[in-house]
């Protein structure tokens, strides 16, 4: 059997480990590295590596060293930033504004806090491309508003939000601003100063670091209360022995991602334009849900009439292509995308497929993807002639 060359168009779910990160990971696993909380020499070596990694990450995001915090993953980073910041606010300042198309790791902790009566939660409006209007945010700020959360780049659509303008308007009224930058790091410039936010979160494996490392950076003086059981690590915000090797690898990957960002962004923008053109030419009944302007380079969300996104992702997998139906953490459920529903996509919310690219994606990969996608669409439509309910957008 002739197995086709595997094509990775699911970089938004995870990126491969960078060589510099692998080297740092192996060095950090050296037998001489101890527990970073221990006072003996192996412990001091571990503490030195962890401090160096923290300093490198803080510098990359223009934060102070001790304001860069490590967590177990990106979802925990969002939990710490959001629950930690709101629980540290006085009760009379716990009105929270959030975009309804945020990642589940943002929406779910806030919904749980609202259900528990800890915060008053309000969803912001978005337009058909998923964009939040900064002036509309300013209009929704109340005397009791304490926090606004808007991702820098949406995880399904790639929509780049005007975070700097939102932050300027909100912070002028004493409101904290958080931005989930997980999809943006390595593709857009991301620093506290440039965005003007109080809290940034990221996930190492999205930019070529290891899985299992989340990052929170905050402005000096931003208070956080631990939403987890009390611990002595990470400034008393979480407990458990730090994975020094993984944190060191994350710092190495971030350094490479920041250095490569301008060139990679330009190349991915060209590949995204090519993919749009080829899909329009070869599969003209396509609908693009990602905006053409102010969108993350290398990410394109599209759908086809009466084709379930989950079925199309499965058909692509059979043809050696990795893609996704939505966020990786929820795509297995094959449910309509809350992001697509939030921008008014209607039935197309079940049809959407996210195609995302990274540093090793080539023009040849894009052309080959379109060929395999055409074959997958044709096969599903042929099958639908014999079983009309099988591939329709409202059935999985």
Q: Which residues are designated catalytic? A: 329
Strands 353-356 and 299-303, how do they pair? antiparallel
Residue 133: CB partners within 8 Å, gap ≥ 6?
125, 127
DSSP string computed for 133-172: PHHHHHHH--TTEEEEE--SB-TTT-BBP-HHHHHHHHHT
Taking Cα atoms as reference points, which of 284, 333, 276, 344 lies closest to residue 309? 333
Residues in the chain, total: 396
Taking Cα atoms as reference points, which of 181, 110, 180 lies closest to residue 146? 110
- CA-CA distances (angstroms) from residue 221 to 64, 176, 194, 217, 233? 11, 11, 18, 12, 18
Taking Cα atoms as reference points, which of 375, 185, 161, 372 lies closest to residue 265? 185
Answer yes or no: are the C-beta atoms of 264 and 186 closer than 8 Å: yes
φ, ψ for residue 149 (rounded to 5)? Answer: -130, 120
Measured from the Cβ of residue 270, the count of other Cβ atoms closer than 10 Å reads: 14
Measured CA to CA, the distance from residue 127 to residue 237 in angstroms comes to 37
Answer yes or no: are the C-beta atoms of 214 and 74 closer than 8 Å: yes
The two three-digit tokens of residue 294, written as one number: 């102010």
Taking Cα atoms as reference points, which of 338, 309, 355, 344 lies closest to residue 105? 338
Measured from the Cβ of residue 303, the count of other Cβ atoms closer than 10 Å reads: 25
Strands 321-322 and 199-203, how do they pair? unpaired
Measured CA to CA, the distance from residue 353 to residue 304 in angstroms comes to 9
């Amino acid at each position: 059997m002739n197995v086709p060359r595997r094509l990775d168009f699911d970089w938004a779910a995870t990126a491969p480990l960078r060589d510099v990160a692998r080297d740092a990971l192996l060095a950090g696993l050296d037998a001489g590295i101890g527990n970073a909380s221990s006072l003996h020499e192996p412990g001091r070596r571990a503490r030195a590596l962890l401090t160096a990694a923290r300093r490198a990450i803080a510098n990359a995001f223009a934060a102070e060293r001790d304001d860069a915090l490590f967590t177990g993953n990106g979802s925990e980073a969002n939990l710490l930033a959001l629950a930690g910041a709101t629980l540290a606010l006085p009760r009379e300042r716990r009105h929270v504004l959030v975009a309804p198309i945020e990642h589940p790791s943002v929406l779910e902790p806030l919904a749980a806090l609202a259900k528990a009566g800890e915060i008053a939660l309000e969803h912001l409006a978005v337009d058909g491309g998923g964009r939040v209007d900064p002036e509309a945010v300013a209009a929704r700020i109340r005397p009791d508003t304490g926090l606004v959360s808007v991702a820098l780049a949406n995880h399904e659509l790639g929509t780049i939000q005007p975070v700097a303008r939102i932050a300027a308007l909100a912070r002028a009224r004493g409101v904290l601003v958080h931005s989930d930058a997980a999809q943006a790091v390595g593709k857009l410039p991301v620093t506290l100063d440039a965005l003007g936010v109080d809290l940034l979160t990221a996930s190492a494996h999205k930019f070529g670091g290891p899985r299992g490392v989340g990052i929170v950076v905050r402005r000096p003086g931003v208070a956080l209360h631990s939403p987890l059981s009390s611990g002595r690590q990470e400034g008393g915000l979480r407990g458990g022995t730090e994975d020094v090797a993984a944190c060191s690898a994350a710092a190495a990957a971030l350094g490479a991602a920041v250095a490569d960002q301008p060139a990679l962004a330009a190349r991915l923008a060209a590949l995204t334009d090519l993919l749009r053109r080829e899909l329009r030419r070869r599969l003209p009944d396509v609908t693009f849900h990602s905006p053409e302007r102010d969108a993350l380079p290398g990410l394109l969300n599209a759908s086809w009439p009466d084709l379930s996104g989950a079925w199309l992702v499965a058909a692509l997998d059979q043809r050696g292509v990795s893609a996704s139906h939505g966020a990786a953490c929820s795509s297995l459920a094959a449910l309509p995308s809350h992001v697509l529903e939030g921008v008014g996509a209607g039935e197309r919310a079940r049809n959407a497929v996210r195609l995302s690219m990274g540093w090793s994606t080539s023009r040849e990969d894009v052309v080959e993807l379109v060929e395999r996608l055409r074959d997958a669409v044709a096969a599903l439509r042929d099958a639908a002639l014999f079983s009309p309910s099988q591939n329709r957008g409202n059935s999985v």
